[in-house]
Amino acid sequence: MLSQIPLSYFLVVSTLMFFIGIYGFLTRKNLITILMAIELILNSVNINFVAFNRYLYPDQLQGHFFSLFIIAVAAAEAAVAIAIIISVYRQYFNIDVERVDTMKY
């Protein structure tokens, strides 16, 4: 059943997710939304990993392991990111990314 869906379908979905993520990362001002966009990017990568693994090397499992790895890392990253965002909020009383420009020249 699965084999009737060609690989390109998965790739299209992941590409779309990736660029939606990029778009969101570049255009959203809210840090939470940006974080969500990053999650989208990560997940598009996950789809790629799983899909390629399934279609190219069906008898191996590295792709799956890697995506699990990414999910775990993403979870940790989300935790750290949210912590940072909360700190930013405490400092600036909002979470607009354009306000957070202390690290300029």
Applying CB under 8 A, the residues found at the interface with another protein are: 22, 25-27, 97-98, 100-105
Q: Which is nearer to another protein, 59 or 98 (CB)?
A: 98
Q: Which is nearer to another protein, 3 or 102 (CB)?
A: 102
Cα–Cα distance, 90 to 33 (Å, whole number): 18
- Environment class of 34 (CB within 10 Å of its CB; exposed 0-12, middle 13-18, buried 19+): buried
Q: Which is nearer to another protein, 4 or 102 (CB)?
A: 102
Shortest Cβ distance from residue 65 to another protein (Å)? Answer: 26
51's CB contacts (< 8 A; 6+ apart) are 7, 10, 11, 14
Tokens of 98: 């354009």
Shortest Cβ distance from residue 99 to another protein (Å)? Answer: 10
